[in-house]
Amino acid sequence: MEKIQNYIDGALVNPISNQYLDNYEPSTAEVYSHIPDSDKKDVDAAVKAAKQAFPAWSKTTKDKRSAILYRISELIEENLEELAAAESKDNGKPVSLATKVDIPRAAHNFRFFATAILHFASESHQMEEGAINYTLKQAIGVAGCISPWNLPLYLFSWKIAPALAAGNCVVAKPSEITPMSAFLLSKLCIEAGLPKGVLNIVHGLGHKVGAAITEHDEIPVISFTGGTATGAQIAKTAAPMFKKLSLELGGKNPTLIFDDCNYDKMLRTVVHSSFANQGQICLCGSRLLIHSSIYERFKSDFVREVKKLKVGNPKNADTNQGALVSKAHMEKVLSHIEIAKEEGGKVLCGGYQVDLAHEGLNGWFIEPTVIEGLNMDCRTNQEEIFGPVVTMMPFDTDEEAITYSNSTKYGLAASVWTENISRANQVAEQLHMGIVWTNCWLLRDLRTPFGGVKQSGVGREGGFEALRFFTEPKNVCIKY
Ligand code: NDP
């Protein structure tokens, strides 16, 4: 059985303890590879390698750094098929999604930051007293990057690429639940000629490897994407050490559907924004708020379209919904459906695990589930479920839709459907979210700031925001 290895100091190596964890294929529920059960010792080795590589890498010209990152993006594209198949097998997502979204976006992340760094300028401020200030933006040192399982290579590369482009060396941990594409990436980095120690990937558990990265006193900057509770734990550890932190956390995103929207376009997109990747995207809209005048029409059309989504083998091209990432996660989502019922919710479609044993698939599939009849304050409408479950609620006025939208502790993203440009702008302004999409969803320009407010996170990634995060500004004042 294949053994995944850590990538430390330019080489693929076994964990120092020689201990491994099982890696499951979500669609079959079978173990198909082993993951290093790394610990603090492996993290220490990775930090040592990164520290040694830092002086040379931070002084390597931007052109050279850019060329290496660009080569990594080309290699990801050249290996798209293999990476997409690996991502699908490891995560349970349809291979069509990995081929169209996850892997191309990972290549794009490297390409984007390979070129962004060439255009990253600093400011200067002239003073009437006869002095000029200029700002140096210097690489910080060893950056820690910790990412989740839902979009494995997509989110892993979203952190690593800007950190490396800015001249830092990196110690990174992918989710232990989905390690395979990060392992394949380490091979591509070697092939691309990334100098040894510049990027180090340590596989293993959050409370061992993740915690060792967070606690390490020679890692002054941490970029984390994952759940809000884990983010709080990381912040608690990092704060007294005065680490620079970027936290991209959970969400409970509203989709606001007004009666003046382009109905057909809205319906098509909302099916997708509710259930893409089995609802396991932090940006999926899990609370559908619908103007009462079109509520019944939308309900019948939406439920009809959702029932058409094919739950099946992630390897098949016509599968819309693959498996959930783990047994524990599937059970968590199913328990939320039970809570919704206890809270008085009416399940309009779905609600159960799907048995695909007859196809040789004993994994973790759930029917896409639509629930109505719940109030805004109930647990189902307040807590992140992170699965193929959405609720529907009617509203009468714009103010009501905005109040409902802003009613949770989260504030990541919203999607607004209206053809009235004034309404669109007014609503966008009043939503407490980091991102508002109008008449679209997940349309991403990588130059824009990305992140959430309230308990959805601290800081912004994307574009120059990411390069600013991974550099330390230093003001130099010269009197002439
Ligand atoms: P987790 O918070 O459980 O894990 C995220 C990463 O942190 C994993 O690599 C995990 O390792 C690691 N980790 C766990 N415990 C610790 C610790 N004590 N110290 C350091 N690292 C630790 O999130 P999930 O993987 O379950 O991802 C789902 C969550 O991510 C959802 O809440 C979702 O909303 C959020 N998310 C947010 C996004 C955003 O941009 N705002 C984007 C995508 C997802 P291990 O896997 O071994 O536990």
Cα 249 from Cα 2, distance rounded (Å): 32
- pTM of the predicted protein model: 0.97
- Name the pairing type of β-strands 169-173 and 142-146: parallel
Report the catalytic residues. Answer: 248, 282
Q: Where in the chain is the domain with CATH 3.40.309.10?
A: 253-445
Cα 293 from Cα 127, distance rounded (Å): 60
Is residue 412 in contact with ligand 1, taking CB distance under 6 Å? yes
CA-closest candidate to residue 32, choices 70, 59, 3, 65: 3
Is residue 386 in contact with ligand 1, taking CB distance under 6 Å? yes
Q: Where in the chain is the domain with CATH 3.40.605.10?
A: 2-249+456-479
**pLDDT of the chain along its 480 residues, tens only?**
999 999 999 999 999 999 999 999 999 999 999 999 999 999 999 999 999 999 999 999 999 999 999 999 999 999 999 999 999 999 999 999 999 999 999 999 999 999 999 999 999 999 999 999 999 999 999 999 999 999 999 999 999 999 999 999 999 999 999 999 999 999 999 999 999 999 999 999 999 999 999 999 999 999 999 999 999 999 999 999 999 999 999 999 999 999 999 999 999 999 999 999 999 999 999 999 999 999 999 999 999 999 999 999 999 999 999 999 999 999 999 999 999 999 999 999 999 999 999 999 999 999 999 999 999 999 999 999 999 999 999 999 999 999 999 999 999 999 999 999 999 999 999 999 999 999 999 999 999 999 999 999 999 999 999 999 999 999 999 999
CATH architecture for segment(s) 2-249+456-479 = 3-Layer(aba) Sandwich (3.40)
Q: What is the dihedral of CA 185, 189, 190, 192, to 10 degrees?
A: 130
Tokens of residue 103, six digits: 């892997």
Q: Whose CA is nearest to atom 25 of ligand 1?
A: 148
Whether 323 and 96 have beta carbons less than 8 Å apart is answered as: no
Q: Whose CA is nearest to atom 14 of ligand 1?
A: 206
Closest ligand 1 atom to 282 CA: 34
- What is the distance in A from the centroid of ligand 1 to the CA of 424? 33
The residue type of 58 is: S
The residue type of 15 is: P
Cα 8 from Cα 181, distance rounded (Å): 16
Is residue 384 in contact with ligand 1, taking CB distance under 6 Å? yes
Tell the CATH superfamily of the 253-445 domain.
Answer: Aldehyde Dehydrogenase; Chain A, domain 2 (3.40.309.10)
Where does residue 18 rank: exposed (0-12), middle (13-18), buried (19+ CB within 10 A)? Answer: exposed
Neighbours of 64 (CB within 10 A): 12
Q: Whose CA is nearest to atom 34 of ligand 1?
A: 250
- What is the distance in A from the centroid of ligand 1 to the CA of 226? 3
Tokens of residue 270, six digits: 């909302």
- What is the distance in A from the centroid of ligand 1 to the CA of 206? 8
Is residue 176 in contact with ligand 1, taking CB distance under 6 Å? yes
